[in-house]
Amino acid sequence: MNVASFVQIIASFSWLLFLGIIALAVIRASRRQPIKGVTTVIIVIGVLALLLSAVSAGLVFIRPEERGVVITAIGPGSRAQALEPGLNWVIPFVENVIVYPISVQNYTMSIAPVEGQVQGDDSVAARTSDGQEIYVDASILYSIDPQKVVQVHIKWQDRYTNDLVRAQARGIVRDAVSQFGVEEVITSQRFELVRQIREAMAAKLTENGLVLVDFVLRNITFSPEYAASVEQKQIAEQLAQQARFVVEQRRQEAEQARQSAQGAADAVVIRAKGDAESRLIAADAEAKALLLIADALRDNPDLITYQYVTRLAPGIQVMLVPNDAPYLLPLPTLEPSILESAPTTTP
């Protein structure tokens, strides 16, 4: 409780006491009782109540988040400067004070029935440059410039919220939205839209003694027809994207199959090339070997006979016919009975 309020309470209590004593004096007078002393008390309390009322009417306490505009019957009708926070004095019964808040205030326009200052749908209906109607939810954070409180009072009094902030915001939002297409408003140009609205709002409020703290674009809602078309477009785009994904998947599978087939074909070619090269190498080696053998046989004709004999099994007996013809004949088998019956000679 501040001093001005306390003095006002005391003054009110004094007037109640003054009226009570007057009532007591009337009752005593009706009973023919002396009221001389009561009259003196009435006069004293009346004077005290009058003084306290004058003091309470002259004392004004301004809170830190407030400023006071002094309305006076003397001069131009109001003081040039607003009252600063603290205890202030004005001329009792000649001047009175209207208090204005300088703290940040919020005005919200929303499509939701209970979110804004106005009950029901209070969103801003606006048309884009391509003729689509959208509904904008927005909040304006603002305050009264402490140095221009008197100017706000003279121009707007307590109507600055509805007649200035609300009206200017709705008009500026519509003008800004009309410069963009509906796709731009919700995608690439959203921040540019907010910037333009914020700058225009700040200029208008500054001209009228207010300060724009921030402009918040809360939501953008489309008309039912456009919302349905957007939904159908999104569904079509999703289906097209899914089809592209399937096509890409099939293409990748075909590419993998082609690469696998190409790999198998390359392997066959490499293997065939390897076989051909190995055969060429073997044939070349065999040809060289045959040349060496031919050279050896030409210088040594009996070499082939020797090679044949050396490769015979150990149990085979052969006879070489010395007639310069390379014939090999098997030796006759000598039976044991023939050996036993053969005549023996004695020396």
pLDDT per residue as tens digits for the range 70-97:
998 887 888 889 999 998 988 888 889 9
Residues 115 and 206 in one domain: yes
Which pLDDT score, from 0 to 100, does residue 179 have? 93
Boundaries of domain holding 255:
232-312
Residues 147 and 196 in one domain: yes
113 plus 193 within the same structural domain: yes
Name which of 54-68, 301-315, 319-333 the model is least confident about. Answer: 319-333
User: According to the model, what pLDDT value does residue 254 have?
Assistant: 83
Q: Which residue has the higher pLDDT, 33 or 59?
A: 59
Residue 318 falls inside a structural domain: no
171 or 336, which is more confident: 171
Per-residue pLDDT tens over the stretch 193-216: 999 999 999 999 999 999 999 999
Q: What is the CATH number of the domain that holds 196?
A: 3.30.479.30
Res. 335 pLDDT band, cuts 50 70 90: very low
User: What mean pLDDT is predicted for residues 288-299?
Assistant: 75
**Are both 112 and 188 inside the same structural domain?**
yes
Look at residue 3 in the predicted model and tell me its pLDDT. Answer: 75
Identify the pLDDT of residue 309.
66
Write down which residue in 101, 125, 147 finishes a domain.
Answer: 101
Same domain, yes or no: 84 and 184: no
Count CB neighbours of 145 within 10 A.
Answer: 17
Task: Choose between 196 and 23: higher pLDDT.
Answer: 196
- 219 compared with 246, residue with greater pLDDT: 219
pLDDT band at 339 (very low <50, low <70, confident <90, very high): very low
Lowest mean pLDDT among 46-55, 149-158, 160-169, 298-307: 298-307
Is the residue at 337 inside a domain? no
Which two structure tokens, joined as six digits, stand for 83?
Answer: 């009252």
For residue 346, being part of any structural domain is answered with: no
* pLDDT score for 194: 94
Would residue 209 be called left, alpha or beta, if left means φ above 0 and alpha means ψ between -120 and 50 degrees?
left
Instruction: Flag whether 335 is in a domain.
Output: no
**Both 125 and 49 in a single domain?**
no
Out of 35-39, 205-209, 277-281, 329-333, which region has the weakest mean confidence (pLDDT)? 329-333
SS3 content of the chain, % helix, strand, coil (to 5): 55, 20, 25
Lowest mean pLDDT among 8-17, 70-79, 202-211, 328-337: 328-337
In the predicted model, is pLDDT for residue 192 greater than 90? Answer: yes
- Residues 237-241 have a mean pLDDT of 75
What's the half-sphere exposure (Cβ side, CA atoms, 13 Å) at 239?
A: 6
Q: Is the pLDDT of residue 168 over 90?
A: yes
pLDDT reported for residue 344? 45
Domain final residue pick, 68, 101, 134: 101
Domain boundary, last residue among 50, 69, 101 = 101
- The answer to the question of residue 339 being in a domain is no
Same domain, 131 and 218: yes
Same domain, 7 and 97: yes
Same domain, 128 and 45: no
| Range with lowest mean pLDDT among 71-85, 314-328, 331-345 | 331-345
Regarding whether 148 and 197 lie in a shared domain, the answer is yes
Instruction: Please report the pLDDT score of residue 226 as a whole number.
Output: 72
> Residue 119 in 3-state DSSP?
coil
Any domain includes 182? yes
**227 belongs to a structural domain:** no
The H-or-E segment that residue 118 falls in is: none
User: What would the DSSP string read from start to end of 251-311?
Assistant: HHHHHHHHHHHHHHHHHHHHHHHHHHHHHHHHHHHHHHHHHHHHHHHHH-TTHHHHHHHHT
Averaged over 13-37, what is the pLDDT?
A: 79
Main-chain dihedrals φ then ψ at residue 299, nearest 5 degrees = -85, -20
Task: Judge whether residue 346 has pLDDT over 60.
Answer: no
Report how far residue 123's alpha carbon sits from residue 135's, in angstroms, rounded to the nearest whole number.
6
Query: Average pLDDT, stretch 143-155?
Result: 94
Q: Tell me, yes or no, whether 128 and 144 share the same domain.
A: yes
**189 in the same domain as 87:** no
Question: How confident is the model at residue 345, as a pLDDT?
Answer: 43
Residue 319 lies in a domain: no
295 has pLDDT over 50: yes
Q: What's the number of domains the chain is made of?
A: 3
